[in-house]
Structure 1
Amino acid sequence: MKLALCTDVLAGLSFPAMLDKVKSYGITGVEMTAGGWSPCPHVNTAALLASVQERDGFRAELARRDMNIVALNCSGNPLAPGELGEKYTHSSYQTLALAGKLGVKKIVMMSGLPGGGPEDRIPNWITSTVSWPDYMPGVIDYQWNAVAIPWWRKFAHEARQQGVEQIALEAFPGQLVYNPSTLLRLRHAVGDIIGINLDPSHLMVMGADPIAAVRKLEGAIFHVHGKDARIERGLAEVDGLLDYQPVTATRTRSWNYVAVGCGKDLQWWKEFFSVLRMSGYDGDVALEMEDLTMSVEAGLQTSIEALNATLSR
């Protein structure tokens, strides 16, 4: 396995300065956002698509530092109703086109989330048992069979046309694909170009065991995010893990994203990577630093030290 970095955490730096900073950490692989929710601080997708010279200069900055793009990220909600879904659908296809022109073989996305029916104007995430109220089975059927599967089949076809080999979906709360079972459902319906971006932090905060998930997902793990979470003592025991407070409310939330090693200890991370390797994954682990309890630099240094001490190389 090889350590990479999700570069949005260094959004305040220019593209060349960001690459220099990443290289100073001893990291040569980058995951950069090219669409979706992110402002895409280091990838001007429209300009790169429009100009061979722009693309040549972009590649030259990477090459002179002996660095490479491990994935382009385009996490948004292309399945949302109306203009929002259209916006993120366009962004997703633009990212595919750019990946094709840059020779990037893997893109990281989220599945998206439809409305609950054709007349809905906002996405609807069903997390309760569908046995009651009785309207929910119809919602699930609509979201999967009328919206998600047709959209992803069309997108997967275009991905193959662009030379993209892997679409790594990040299982995330508030998305139709939010755990291993829903990922495998979409993979079964669309094809083996669909796999998971295994971010253990999201499974942790839903009460799942990422190490057990690795075993279920064997053969379908395309990408891994190095990201930790901490269940906050004295808070989760009272209100549980379902928490819609903003992530900035770190003091009162029942869980928080934290630097690697500040949630699970290093022994846990060693086992996680060992089981990943045993299950056949030997690819990139992209550090995604979203700890709001410390400075960016402290979070990066803490996480890099922890990952370097635990990765199965």
Structure 2
Amino acid sequence: MKLGLMTDSLAHLPLEQAAAKCRELGLEQVELGCGNWSSAPHVDLDALVNSADARRALTGILSDNGLTISALNCSGNPLFPGEKGRQHRAVTEKTFRLAGQLGIETVVMMSGLPGGCPQDHSPTWIVTSWPPETEEILRYQWDEAIARWQEMARQAEECGVRRIALEFHGWQLVYNPETLLRLRQAVGPIVGVNLDPSHLFWMGADPLAVARELRQCIYHVHIKDVRTEPAAAVNSLLDTKGVLEFARRSWNFVTPGSGHDETWWRTFVDTLRALGYDGPLSIEQEDYTIPLDDALEQASALLHRILES
């Protein structure tokens, strides 16, 4: 396995300084955000797609710092109704093209979420089977999603992308193994998982059990933790407060080791190894409770200890 970083974690730095920081942390790979929900701080997607010189400059900076690219990330909602969905699909298609041009076979995404009927202007996330209208909404959403995803998978394959690694997340049609496998069955083996334990924690799943369930289709791994806070006992884990309101939230994204201890993370990596996974471990830093540099140093140090033992 190779340890890397989702470079949106260093969005405040230009690419040259971000790459140097990765080298300082002893990392080997980077995952580059290309747009949609990422601000794409280190990627000018149009320039890179249209210029071989720009691509050489990007890979040269990374190579000079001993880094390779683990994946491109264009997480967004390509199923959003109307113009926003078209915009997100356009970024997704260009990301597929760039991946092919760079020889990158993995693209990290989220599944997206359609509206609940043809007249909807925004998505609707159904998390219960009652009232009975929910079943009709879900049938419509899955029909919409499968048709869109079959087309996107075809586009990805034409560009040379072999793995679309979908991340489980709230407000997405794919948020657990059952929904991932349903989409994979309809679309094909190009669809797999970007396994991020953090979202599974707050949704109540066991990431170790999930890894075993999806052993054949773990295509990429994010390293991010969650800490359950005292407010959860009163307000539950369903929490709509912003991530910067961390003092009041029921749960928070935190640095690995701060929500689940090193023993748990060692078990997680050992489980992945036992399942035959030998791909990237990409740190995604979204801990707002401690300074950024401290978070990155703690995360990388913990993973180095685990990987080197």
TM-score, normalised by the number of residues in structure 2: 0.98
Residue 126 of structure 1: aligned partner: 126
Residue 50 of structure 1: aligned partner: 50
- Structure 1 residue 312, shift from structure 2 partner: 7.5
Residue 160 of structure 1: aligned partner: 157
Contact 2:168 2:195 in 1 (8 A): yes
Residue 281 of structure 1: aligned partner: 277
Q: Point out where structure 2 has 5 or more consecutive residues left out of the alignment.
A: none
Residue 300 of structure 1: aligned partner: 296
The answer to whether residue 142 in structure 2 is matched with residue 144 in structure 1 is yes
The answer to whether residue 16 in structure 2 is matched with residue 16 in structure 1 is yes
The answer to whether residue 252 in structure 2 is matched with residue 266 in structure 1 is no
Residue 60 of structure 2: aligned partner: 60
Mapping 1:56-205, distance limit 5 Å: 56-128=56-128, 130=129, 132-145=130-143, 147-205=144-202
Counterpart of 2:242 (choices 236, 241, 246) is 246
Counterpart of 1:291 (choices 287, 292, 296) is 287
- Structure 1 residue 65, shift from structure 2 partner: 2.6
Residue 232 of structure 2: aligned partner: 236
Contact 2:2 2:28 in 1 (8 A): no
Contact 1:166 1:195 in 2 (8 A): yes
Whole-angstrom distance in 1 between the partners of 2:33 and 2:252: 23
Whole-angstrom distance in 1 between the partners of 2:139 and 2:12: 43
Whole-angstrom distance in 1 between the partners of 2:96 and 2:302: 33
Residue 205 of structure 2: aligned partner: 208
After superposition, the C-alpha distances for 1:51-107 in whole angstroms (9 at most, x for unaligned) are 121112222222223311100000000101111111101110010111111111100
Contact 2:23 2:66 in 1 (8 A): no
Whole-angstrom distance in 2 between the partners of 1:311 and 1:252: 35
Structure 1: which amino acid aligns with 2:224? K
Whole-angstrom distance in 1 between the partners of 2:289 and 2:264: 21
Residue 252 of structure 2: aligned partner: 256
- Structure 1 residue 36, shift from structure 2 partner: 1.4
Whole-angstrom distance in 2 between the partners of 1:46 and 1:65: 24
Deviating more after overlay: 300-309 vs 212-221: 300-309
TM-score, normalised by the number of residues in structure 1: 0.96
Structure 2: which amino acid aligns with 1:144? W
Structure 2: which amino acid aligns with 1:143? Q
Contact 1:34 1:74 in 2 (8 A): yes
After superposition, the C-alpha distances for 1:89-136 in whole angstroms (9 at most, x for unaligned) are 1110010111111111100000001000100011100011x2x21111
Matched length: 309
Residue 37 of structure 1: aligned partner: 37
- Runs of 4+ in structure 1 displaced over 4 angstroms? none
Contact 1:203 1:210 in 2 (8 A): yes
Contact 2:105 2:160 in 1 (8 A): yes
Contact 1:273 1:312 in 2 (8 A): no
Whole-angstrom distance in 1 between the partners of 2:308 and 2:274: 10
After superposition, the C-alpha distances for 1:229-266 in whole angstroms (9 at most, x for unaligned) are 0011x311111111111111101110000001000011
Whole-angstrom distance in 2 between the partners of 1:179 and 1:308: 29
Structure 1: which amino acid aligns with 2:284? E
Contact 1:274 1:312 in 2 (8 A): no
**Aligned Cα root-mean-square deviation (Å):** 1.1
Identical pairs, percent: 47
Whole-angstrom distance in 2 between the partners of 1:22 and 1:282: 20
